[in-house]
Structure 1
Amino acid sequence: MEKKEKIYSINEYIKIHRDKEKKFDKSRRPKLEEYIVETVNKYGFWVVHSYYKDTIEISLHKLPSEFDQRGYLHRHDYYELVYIYQGGNVNLFENKRIEMKQGDILLLNPNTLHCPYTLNDQDCMFNIKIPIPILENSMLTLLSDNHLFSNFIIDYMYQINKANDYLYFPYDPESKIAIIMETIIMEYINKNVCFQKVIESMLIYLFAELTRMYYKNNANTINGEQKNRTVADIIAYMNQHSSTATLDSIAEKFGYSPSYVSRMIKKHTNKNYVEIIKEFKLNKAKQYLESNDLPISEIISLVGFNDASYFYKLFKSKFLLSPAEYRKQYKGENATKNS
């Protein structure tokens, strides 16, 4: 396998990428544009799919085109983080338009209908595609104390606040955002050993910095927003403490009766307390199987199941494999990717 040459800066990468882009055969583009027009005319939007369901992808947005500026809305089957490295861009939504500038960041949930485009060849926008399972399973637990992002994810998971489709962060010269983003992009460009895990870790760091920046710049509106966050906060707490939480302990934590908490969860998520807790426990078991070699019996205990046979039944029903089969398949796939 030919060794890839190391790239030392984002600017170097952009130059190489743009040179390739200008030489690229655009003969297939009219077919794609025809498909987009037909689909939008029929459904009101089109869908952008990711080929990878368990890895984060980063791409440099293509050069400006007149077609992109017509405003054909699309959504994704992944979360998307948009970062303006240089210049700016325009993001059209159903009822809104955001003009982003250098250093700005936009995080969109998969349902968000939008149409982004750049205006000139110097504009450089990076798109970070985060698969739903990575953000909702692997990263949500690590974001449990970050209410801005954990609530954003839970809102999408359970459709609690349908209006909260994206988070927008204008550039703050006092923040560390640019340094973090450049580290993430360079990790992806050079793809060194463990780069995916480094990117996940850096995204947690990025979300923490963005939250600090948000609270600093929006101190006057935060108290009012937090009054309506109870359901999302309860579900975030359930995720963080899924191995030990009970309906009684959750009710005591938030100052409500158990029956009221139960009704609130069902009303806003269309699932009951038991269903959600089981979902969180199974996802954590999956993470343990992926990340270490602990005996399965120990994992069952760690995630809070008392009945091993019941756990095996639920796990196979959700993931279509036994825990041992899942671990073997996951490690085999990772070995193939890293070879």
Structure 2
Amino acid sequence: MKISKSGFKEYIRIYNEDEMFYKQLYEEERLRPEGFQDYVAGLDRNYIQNHALYVPAIHGKWLNYLKEYELFSVPADHIVIQKHNRYSPEYIHEHEFYEIFYVYEGTCENTIQSEKYACKKGDVCILPPKTQHNIAVFDDSIVINIMLKASTFHEAFFEIFTGNHVLSQFFSHIFYDKTENNYLLFHTGDDHIIHSLVEDLYIEYYGHEKYAETILKNYMMTFFCLLLRNHENHLESFLNTSHKNLDMLGVLNYLQKHYAGVTLKSAAEHFNFSVPHFSKLIKENTGHNFIEILKNIRLEKACYALVHTDLSIMTICEIIGYPNPEHFSRLFKKEFGMSPGAYRKSKIQS
């Protein structure tokens, strides 16, 4: 069946066979509990096995770990897209690939490490490998899951960051360091472009047409770029950190705004931490120390000013917080392999 863009909403709302099974199971357990055991006893075990369905009354509670080869059965496949089965029983699972889920309609409940979070329409959640989680949908809400091989995710997501952008450092720490149960949640709300792009991804995946894999990869790149362009300020991060009250994105945004004059002491005071403890938390949660982060922000601002303004290098130094031009030039040349003047000239000529 070919899915049309105009008929997508009607198509995705239709209950598939597995959803009908799960909905019946859900209603039997809650509406007719006295006869539920007899209902389970009469279920077709072969049907359940052939459809890979999960029935807690038969299988018990279990933690499922999915390896990439189990989902990406064809080696060339890099992306798998599915609608989350409504009414499917809750069970905690983890996997070695990346999962992105998008709340297309309604709401859902996302559980990570026994912590429950309510997600609403437009929410996009990015879950790294080895993150124990569960998604619960027990009404007509629609959640679309996008699974990517780890290598595909890294290629698509981190190609966006070509410099030392402070967010790239943050994401890199979340996704690459050996910490688990971290994830990112973007609130895109009624962003119709993101909504439409998710539809395009789903249609392209199930269309199985020529060059689908290449088109899907490019769609995902666009998807990530739009998330960061339009919803960088609508982002929550959930980090496996020893300090639950540290809003690391808030810290990074504060440094982005006050980079010219901020010091470790003033930033620690602003967030009500002692200097040593604040310094330790920054290192633990970003993989970089305060000086490195501040340097990268200032150099990023300097690069922009060199390319997009006619300000003198002396003025740029003062604006970004380096009163000593010689010190600035040394830092710049060490980072980019050329002087600020040469950098400006190379960008203008190109």
TM-score (norm 1): 0.55
User: For residues 137 and 16 of structure 1, do their structure 2 counterparts lie closer, same or farther at Cα, with a shift above 3 Å needed?
Assistant: same
Match of residue 76, structure 1, among 95, 100, 104: 95
Q: Distance in 2 between matches of 1:176 and 1:6?
A: 19
Q: Name the SS for the 1:144 alignment partner.
A: coil
**Pairwise CA distance, 1:217:** 4.0
**Pairwise CA distance, 1:134:** 1.0
User: For residues 194 and 92 of structure 1, do their structure 2 counterparts lie closer, same or farther at Cα, with a shift above 3 Å needed?
Assistant: same
User: For residues 126 and 100 of structure 1, do their structure 2 counterparts lie closer, same or farther at Cα, with a shift above 3 Å needed?
Assistant: same
Q: Distance in 2 between matches of 1:88 and 1:193?
A: 35
Partner of 1:128: 146
User: For residues 184 and 51 of structure 1, do their structure 2 counterparts lie closer, same or farther at Cα, with a shift above 3 Å needed?
Assistant: same
User: For residues 143 and 217 of structure 1, do their structure 2 counterparts lie closer, same or farther at Cα, with a shift above 3 Å needed?
Assistant: same
> Any conservation in 2 of the 1:7–1:189 contact (CA below 8 Å)?
no
Partner of 1:59: 82
Structure 1 gaps, min length 5: 238-248, 256-339
Query: Matches of residues 206-245 of structure 1 in structure 2 within 5 Å?
Result: 206-217=223-234, 221-223=251-253, 228=283, 229=286, 231=288
> Any conservation in 2 of the 1:90–1:118 contact (CA below 8 Å)?
yes
> Any conservation in 2 of the 1:7–1:190 contact (CA below 8 Å)?
no
> Any conservation in 1 of the 2:187–2:234 contact (CA below 8 Å)?
no
Partner of 2:334: 252
Listed one character per residue, the Cα deviations across residues 244-264 of structure 1 (whole Å, up to 9, x for unaligned) are xxxxx9992299xxxxxxxxx
Q: Distance in 2 between matches of 1:172 and 1:31?
A: 32
Deviates more, 1:196-205 or 1:140-149: 140-149
Partner of 1:27: 48
Q: Name the SS for the 1:27 alignment partner.
A: helix
Partner of 1:291: none
Q: Structure 2 counterpart of 1:27, which letter?
A: I
> Any conservation in 1 of the 2:66–2:94 contact (CA below 8 Å)?
yes
Q: Name the SS for the 2:99 alignment partner.
A: strand
Q: Structure 2 counterpart of 1:132, which letter?
A: A
Partner of 1:144: 162
Q: Distance in 2 between matches of 1:250 and 1:137?
A: 28
What is the number of residues matched between the two proteins?
228
Partner of 1:201: 218
**Is it true that 1:189 corresponds to 2:206 in the alignment?**
yes
User: For residues 16 and 147 of structure 1, do their structure 2 counterparts lie closer, same or farther at Cα, with a shift above 3 Å needed?
Assistant: farther
RMSD over aligned CA atoms reads: 4.0
Listed one character per residue, the Cα deviations across residues 3-46 of structure 1 (whole Å, up to 9, x for unaligned) are x54544322432556257437975336776479646x4xxxx33
User: For residues 195 and 82 of structure 1, do their structure 2 counterparts lie closer, same or farther at Cα, with a shift above 3 Å needed?
Assistant: same
Listed one character per residue, the Cα deviations across residues 226-251 of structure 1 (whole Å, up to 9, x for unaligned) are 865464999xx9xxxxxxxxxxx999
Q: Structure 2 counterpart of 1:223, which letter?
A: N
Q: Distance in 1 between matches of 2:172 and 2:250?
A: 23
Structure 2 gaps, min length 5: 23-43, 236-248, 257-281, 297-330, 338-350
Match of residue 182, structure 2, among 147, 157, 165: 165
Partner of 1:290: none
Q: Distance in 2 between matches of 1:77 and 1:134?
A: 12
Partner of 1:107: 126
Q: Name the SS for the 1:176 alignment partner.
A: helix
**Pairwise CA distance, 1:101:** 1.0
Partner of 1:266: none
Q: Structure 2 counterpart of 1:172, which letter?
A: G
**Pairwise CA distance, 1:211:** 1.6
**Is it true that 1:93 corresponds to 2:112 in the alignment?**
yes
Larger C-alpha radius of gyration, 1 or 2? 2
Q: Structure 2 counterpart of 1:64, which letter?
A: Y
**Pairwise CA distance, 1:185:** 1.9
Q: Distance in 1 between matches of 2:181 and 2:53?
A: 34
Q: Structure 2 counterpart of 1:51, which letter?
A: L
**Is it true that 1:178 corresponds to 2:195 in the alignment?**
yes
